[in-house]
Chains A and B, each alone.
Chain A
Amino acid sequence: MMRRGGPTVERFSLAQRVEHFVLLLSFNILALTGLPQKYSAADWAQRLIAVFGGIETTRRIHRTLAVILIAQGLYHLVAVVAGRKRPVRRHDMHFSLADVRDLLGDAVFLAGRRRERPRFGRFDYRQKFEYWAVVWGTALMVATGLIMWFPIIVTRWLPGVVIPASRVVHGGEALLALFAVITWHFYNAHFRPNIFPMDPAMFTGQIPVERLRHEHAGEFEDLKARGLAPPPSHPEAQAEGKSQTD
């Protein structure tokens, strides 16, 4: 079970948490209104579309949420660009060869072939993969979605085949995103035995120092070096945290 006591440090700002919540909401509603269109021959799909009140309303909901997601994506770009000059945590999501090494090292460690776990920074390779998958996936979904939404404008410049191709890509990418969220995000943020039923960091914005020390050792040391990390409160917290995460 998740330990809630002990000192914490901020992991996500309020703005980031709101962003995540908007993403969560739009992703789910887009999936709920999009998948029954992809699988329109299935019984469950027809029942779901009936719940929304027919295909026209389903599409209207889908497009409304798409606009919200696009707006959020644009906001995110602006926020990242505006925040890039900050001295601390600048390249948090920067993906590099070190992450590939971390992945391989972690796999070897988890398989029990090595005693030392790689020391992850603020975001480990799993979180970076997820982040970039969301960035890439959203860009692709927005592009293909807009092509289908405005076929007449698009075919002023592009050959028509991009429209049926976009339908395929939009559906394939949606399925990929859904499976990735189920096998990866749900596991890493909900079903991992030491955080089940969920990692509250994204909603409280805080992470216990004790957990940070184990799961993001690199960042913990960085914070300590800057004098920003409060020490873990009491010894048993330390002991328990250790047994959970090692």
Chain B
Amino acid sequence: MYWLILLVAAWILGSPQPAVAQDNESCLACHQVEGTAITFPDGALDVTINSKKFAASVHKDFTCTTCHTKHTGYPHPPRTATSRRSYRVVAQQVCATCHADQSKTYELSVHGRGLRMGLGDVPLCTSCHTTHAVIKPKSAAFRNSIPETCGNCHADDAVMRRYGLRPVYQAYVEEFHGVTTRLYRLVTPAVRSPSAVCYDCHTAHAVRRVADPESPVAPANLLATCRRCHARAGSLFATAWTEHRIPSLRHSTLVYLAQLFYLILIPGVVGVLVVLTGLDLWHWAVTRWGGRA
């Protein structure tokens, strides 16, 4: 009995909490040093921890070993990953331990399926959420920079072409939603943009191909998706959509023609006005100094 009490006491007193801070500090002793990195054949993986950013992250109260379960001591156990990419792919299984729902949704998404197919470009949890600087997805800072987060890949022509896609970022930031969100991000960063960002229409973790009939932006579902914000939108409302395309003769022809019209009209009109102004000044100068006219 005496031993039993002693055991329980030891279990309570010896709970890991007090050891935590000390634990993180011993990790940071090495990992705070600028330039700490693991070298892989496909590039170096920076393993430097910015403790300030980590302290501002949602995981600030976690110990390093909460996620890095095997790295309880030094030297660390031998690495199994052979590339930077495979290291990161394996590492994101850690996220699933707590975020199982999101992880499952992601696995069924076009990104998750791409990952299973071994595609080297598809985003991992950390591609969007970062590793040690994870902030609340509902925060203004996260929401207002969603276009840039997605734009990391979806603005890149080379990456997009590998998958038969168009870069859409540039067209989005010129659309009304994109302009509004950019101005929130740059001018009033503490306020969440009320304008649609990528995930409002495409969803975040469940993103599908546009051609997928279950995609919220598939032609048949588009109006319903618009109505999630524009509740009273009529059947023609969704036809205002320019498909993240830069207008051309083939796509949004009327918009393109309007652009072309002003491209010609503005220099034309201003040119005539400048000529007439020049003539008037010329006449004045000749009258004043030329002694004729």
Contacts and interface: CB of A to CB of B under 8 A. Distances in A.
Interface in B145-197: 173, 175-176, 179-180, 182-184, 186-188, 191
A193 B289 CA distance: 13
A49 B274 contact: no
B33 interface: no
Contacts of A152: 230, 232-234, 237
Tell me whether chain A's interface is mostly helix, strand or loop, or mixed.
helix
A151 interface: yes
11 contacts: A50-B187, A152-B232, A152-B234, A155-B237, A156-B236, A158-B236, A163-B240, A164-B255, A179-B273, A183-B273, A187-B277
Contact of A151 (B240, B254, B269): B240
A165 B273 contact: no
Given A112-B293, A151-B240, A155-B233, A49 B262 contact: no
Interface residues on A, range: 35 or more
B191 A54 contact: yes
For chain B, the bracket of interface size reads 35 or more
- The 8 A-B pairs of least Cβ separation, nearest first, read A172-B262, A160-B240, A160-B239, A110-B279, A55-B183, A110-B283, A163-B240, A168-B258
B259 interface: yes
A126 B280 CA distance: 12
A184 B277 contact: yes
Interface string A158-173: 1111111101110111
A165 B258 contact: yes
Nearest to B179: A40
A167 B239 CA distance: 15
Given A54-B188, A164-B247, A184-B273, A107 B242 contact: no
